Amino acid sequence: MLDVIMLTFGEPDADENFEILKQKAPHAQRVDDVVGLLEAHKAAAELSKTNYFYVCDADAIIQENFAFKFEPSDRREAYPGVPETECVFTYRSHNPVNDLIYGFGALKLFPKKKLLATKEFNVDMTTSIGAIFKPMFEISNTTAFNTDPFNTWRSGFREGTKMASGIIDHKKQVDDAYRLEVWCTRGENRRYGEYAILGAQQGRDFGNHYKGNKEALRKINDWEWLKKTFESAL
């Protein structure tokens, strides 16, 4: 079985979600509070002893029927002429605020060598580490990001920025436009839903304003900057 590693960045339910994860993957490990998104993923890669490893966010509640059985093989093709071992994989998750189902906060499956060789990335890890992106259509988890005002706002702001700016490679503009509209308008009656909507709306404005400015857009992976932005946005 491939290694499974949870990354934590101060999520309040991390311990509880890790216990749920270990029910499905008893060998799961954690990387806690490493500064920098790339640095945290590289720390996970260093910890892994398998060529591929699963990354689980700390706000992910694993689906009861999900099994960590898939292992990429060079004998199977992900796309015509592209073996699975040339890819990075992302599952799908359920958003408890607006009920969207796509890759936001879902399990990822990374190739260890390519990740360790990555020197920088364009805001989104899965689409810019030099491996071909391959979506997996199974739902792996619920992304329970709506635990408090800041964490809820942070997720909305980051997603709003990504979709409005078009920074993520290989994304379909029609899908992004629909999902962004949902993030910005639905779920106010859900737990902390008003913060998800506010974050998405402000992220949309930020993404549109800084479209094409990768240096500015990378700020959405700086947790301290996000915290200050959140406090000034209220």
User: For residue 121, what pLDDT is reported?
Assistant: 74
> What's the pTM value of the predicted model, to 2 decimals?
0.93
Clarify whether residues 121 and 27 are in a common domain. yes
pLDDT at 168: 72
Does residue 14 sit in the same domain as residue 120?
Answer: yes
The residue type found at 180 is: L
Could you tell me if 225 and 132 lie in one domain? no
What DSSP element (H or E) covers 168?
none
What DSSP string runs through 67-115?
-------TTSEEETTEEGGGEEEEEEEE-TTT--EESTT--EEEEHHHH
Of the residues 143, 174, 194, the one at which a domain ends? 143
Judgement on whether residues 41 and 129 belong to the same structural domain of the protein = yes
- pLDDT of 34 reads 95
Give just the sign of the alpha carbon dihedral 33, 39, 41, 47: negative
Q: 188 is in which domain, residue-wise?
A: 149-233
122 and 168 fall within a common domain: no
**CATH for 11:** 3.90.550.10
Regarding whether 71 and 21 lie in a shared domain, the answer is yes
Scored b (16 or more CB within 10 A) or e, 163-175 reads bbbebbeebeeee
Q: Which residue has the tokens 């073996």?
A: 83
Residue 156 · residue 197 · CB < 8 Å: yes
Q: Are residues 23 and 132 in the same domain?
A: yes
Please identify, among 121, 143, 165, the residue that sits at the C-terminal boundary of a domain: 143
Query: What total number of domains does the chain contain?
Result: 2
The Cα 20–Cα 93 span in angstroms is 16
Walk along the chain (234 residues) and give the pLDDT tens digit of each residue: 999 999 999 999 999 999 999 999 999 999 999 998 999 999 999 999 999 999 999 999 999 999 999 999 999 999 999 999 999 999 999 999 999 999 999 999 999 999 999 988 777 777 778 889 999 999 999 999 999 999 999 999 999 999 999 887 655 677 899 999 999 999 999 999 999 999 999 999 999 999 999 999 999 999 999 999 999 988
Assess contact for 54 and 5: CB atoms under 8 A: yes
Single out the residue in 80, 111, 143 at which a domain terminates: 143
